[in-house]
Amino acid sequence: MSQPNVEKEAGPTAQPDTPVEETPAAPVEKKKREYKDFGHDEVKATHANVDMSQIELKADDLYDKEKVDLETIVIEDVFTLLQCNDQGLTTQEAERRLEIFGPNKLEQEEQNAFLQFLSFMWNPLSWVMEAAALVAIALSNGEGRAPDWQDFAGITALLFINSSIGFYEERGAGNAVKALMDSLAPKARAKRDGSWIEVESSILVPGDMIAFKIGDIVPADCRLTEAINVSIDQAALTGESLPVSKKEADQCFSGSTCKQGEAEGVVISTGANTFFGRAASLVGQEDDSTGHLQKILAQIGSFCLVAIGIFVIAEIFVLYAGFRWSYRSGLDNILVLLIGGIPIAMPTVLSVTLAVGAQQLANYKAIVTRITAIEELAGVTILCSDKTGTLTTNKLTIDRSTIKTYAAFSSDDVILLAAYASRTENQDAIDASVVGALGDVGRARAGIKLLDFKPFNPVDKRTEITYREESSGKLKRVTKGMTGIIIELCTRNKTDEIESRLEADVEEFALRGLRALAVAYEEVDGTDPEAEGNGFELVGLLAIFDPPREDTKQTIDDALAFGVKVKMVTGDQLAIAKETGRRLGLGDHMYPAKVLKDGPPPGSKFRTLDEMIMDADGFAGVFPEHKFEIVKRLQGLGHLCAMTGDGANDAPALSRANVGIAVEGATDAARGAADIVLTEPGLSTIVHAIRGSRIIFQRMRNYAIYACAVTIRIVVCFAILVFSYKFQFPPFMVLIIALLNDGTIMTLSVDRVLPSSTPDSWDLAEIFAYAVAYGLYLTLSTIILVVVILESDFFQRKFGVSLNSPPGHIDHNDKQLHMIIYLQVAIISQALIFRPSFALMGAFCLAQLVSSIIAAFADWGFTNIQKISGAWIGIVWVWDIIWFIPLDLIKFAMKATVIKYLRNRHNRAAAAATRASVEGGVPITRTQSRAASIHESLYSNRTSFIRRAARKVGFSGKVRVKAEELQRFSSIQAHQTGQTLARHPSRPGA
């Protein structure tokens, strides 16, 4: 672009010799224009309308604006409330207040590691296995026989393996509070005993005078007493994409960063009572809630428990009341059902599946910090996304497509002139965006010699440069800044038409959430850079915004294709949120955060707040409590929610969401609260994660069918055998079957499956239907084999095999028959989940090789088995292969009959619920059944067990400010601190 050296002739400026009497009323009648630029509303400071000596205000007084306007109380009243002055505190008084208010840091509740480990044995599945272990070691001691040490050792080993895996996962996760603590400023400058010293930020107290400058982290919530050109980046706390200018009496939040200037202030709140601390208090606030996968495991476990319970009770009646068996003999049969029927390895198998899935997601630059979140991500129906730094780059940019010009300058000329009037070093965010728009930073000073530069300050609200153009040698001056200030400076070519256009353009920018930056230009005669110019002329208007990431729109489209609805939830202002939504194709049905408190406005088409939340494309101006509430309400409506974010203000919602996703560049607080941390810019990784999670979900669903089917086949099969033939199978061999099968099934994590195109859900009715069908089919394969062996001599006659007892008089509890049944059950069970992946095929072959070796060589004296010949092993293999072939036919038959019926019933119920919500005005909600609530409560006992056993007082119980009071939080802090000090008045001379 060429240098903008267009010569400008003086326009119709005001002439001093113009006769005043010709237009005597013109200066009075001319309407003063208001340029409705985008920004925060300013409020005037007020005084408290109460006697400040009576600072023990009641709760009602605190929120009574007739007495105290908590939002605008003047700094003098703050000093009075805090019983301090601008000279700071004495060391003695600071120590006294430290005892009253506590340290300026967030306390973390530490869990007892041993109790946490034991808690993983506190669930229904573990209870049954623990009962089985007690039966084996304690109740089995009788009738001259030693306790069943082998079964006891095997069961105990299984329990400890599962607990160890769960303990390892949970111990390494949940570090959100620690990250929040670490991100507080470790050092601070405070005035103690009248002198500025450096102290640990943890010993700051309300009433301390602190100072900070560019690059410093604000160490505590404070009200400014002095501010010199201060700009604060609080995007990580409030979600605002633009740095906020601060002046005297404004509040600065703990954890925000000073981007420009220097300031002094009085501390009004520390530690858990700060804005930052309140965000921390919401992270993990509902620790006793049960995870989604745990709820599903509880219901699957309950299905297995019911099946086992029915047949255990039946065996007790039949064996003891009917067969009159001895105490110990009946107990061994009951142990078979307990050990074989309980899918004790289910948490382990699913953990391995999820862990391998987490490694696969890491290849897409997504680090999983809570592996159970993978399962929940597969079922996510709504993705709540923060805007700043997530959907957008969190980097201010000039929008070239919206540049307005008002003179003979092109858009490129306007950008170049604005870059001249910008710093090239120590830039603020706006200067950086303007200079960055050039592409080459060097062009901001190329071809000119800087003579004078006036940086931005809160009073003038503009920057100005005077320079000599090297090509012509002429002096020129450019200024850029707030629209109203710049247009007042302009005198050349300033017409009503120009002003009207400017007013309309600024209003258009404001409605779209774009910040307007006006640029004006003048020439200076002579060589004196201090001389007056020929009058500023408005040359252009720049629009500054936080642009969407390059891949965000495609990511949103991909998410919608996967059946996931995206909602924007941002701390930025409504106009900005709507503009971003339009650019991304999200829509602009967005609402301010106040509707979360007030509900739908009168006359709205929405009957309830829940309806409004479901319809909204997003919400703006939200604080941590609002994001938390939105996610919680969506979950209450039956949705699984994912939440993306990058700032500390997102941490509570990230923690509450089913799946919290911290994007690349997120703060430590956000990463600590998140379940998935992205290490590459943008959200495209989320699409890979959703697809990967659905593949993993299909693997887990297959295992759930397998586990339930094995339960059915074990309890039904061995119950029928004991009822029919008084069959006494050794419990230890059932334990071997469980170990080998579950070890094989762990390779399910690399099984070949296809992801679904819609959010997955655990349709347990389908899973149980498949399980019953497969379980009964496999039971039939075993029962028929036993019948053929006991009731005929077919195998002996055709293949020349034999057992310990002669044909026709075969002992129903022949040791070799036990081994045959062991081998048949071990092989056929794995056919349920066999898929042609190399890892699973290899594991299958290895497990069957081990089973076959045990059958061929095991003569274990402690259990009732004996090795069998190779011919018997071959017979069992052929038998199982024959029964394996029709398994797919059963699956197809189930899909065409039972599964089709279940799905149609589900669809009819969903349609009926929708009609009821439309016709009867009842919102669509998912009501938890009583049975489901029982399942959940059984598993939530694990966390409540920890709380009851080792509960300590944590920081979350110290913060008691409701969400609707948040906007007046600053002065509430000051009053609460004042009340505390009133109860602990300073000592004389302190």
Closest by CA to 475, choosing from 522, 521, 520, 524, is 524
- The Cα–Cα gap between 624 and 281 comes to 10
Task: Collect contacts of 309-315 with beta carbons under 8 A, ≥24 apart.
Answer: 310/715, 311/337, 311/341, 311/715, 311/716, 311/719, 312/337, 312/338, 314/719, 315/719, 315/722
The active-site residue, picked from 386, 399, 413, 675, is: 386
Cα separation, 321 vs 704, whole angstroms: 35
Q: Chain-centre distance of CA 950, in angstroms?
A: 27
Q: 526: how many CB neighbours lie within 10 A of its CB?
A: 9
What letter would DSSP give residue 455?
Answer: -
Q: Residue 118, Cβ neighbours under 10 Å: how many?
A: 16
Joined tokens for residue 496: 């009503």
CA neighbor of 476 nearest in space, from 435, 517, 536, 406: 536
Q: Is 610 a catalytic residue?
A: no
- Strand pairing of 676-678 and 659-662? parallel
The residues that bridge with 515 in the sheet, in sequence order, are: 544
CA distance 206 to 86: 13
- Going from the C-alpha of 167 to that of each of 117, 287, 370, 482, the distances in angstroms are 6, 16, 12, 57
Beta pairing, strands 676-678 & 404-405:
unpaired
Cα separation, 771 vs 639, whole angstroms? 27
The half-sphere exposure of 204 on its side-chain side, counting CA atoms within 13 A, is 39
Distance of alpha carbon 356 from its chain centroid, rounded?
21
Please, what sign has the CA dihedral across residues 16, 20, 22, 28? Answer: positive
Cα–Cα distance between 381 and 362 in angstroms, integer? Answer: 23
Q: Is 300 helix (H, G, I), strand (E, B) or coil?
A: helix
Sequence-distant (6+) residues with CB within 8 A of 129 are 155, 158, 159, 338, 339, 342, 344
Q: Give the whole-angstrom CA distance, residue 815 versus residue 861.
A: 11
Nearest to 749 by CA among 355, 279, 458: 355
Please report, as a single letter, which amino acid is at residue 722.
V
DSSP-derived pairing of the beta strands 618-620 and 590-592:
parallel
**Exposure of 833 by Cβ count < 10 A (0-12 exposed, 13-18 middle, 19+ buried)?**
buried
Q: How far apart (Å, rounded) are the C-alpha atoms in residues 220 and 105?
A: 10
Structure-block tokens of residue 245: 């200018």
> Which residues contact residue 496 at a Cβ distance below 8 angstroms, ignoring those fewer than 6 apart?
none
Query: 876-903 b/e with 16+ CB inside 10 Å = b?
Result: beebbeebbeebeeeeeebeeebbeebe
Rounded to whole angstroms, how far apart are CA atoms 737 and 782? 15
β-bridge mates for residue 504, sequence order? none
Size (the chain), residues: 990
407, 409, 415, 418: CA torsion to nearest 10:
-50
Residue 382 · residue 642 · CB < 8 Å: yes
Assess contact for 677 and 366: CB atoms under 8 A.
yes
* Dmax (CA) of the chain: 136
Give the separation between CA 721 and CA 729, rounded to whole angstroms: 9
Catalytic residues: 386
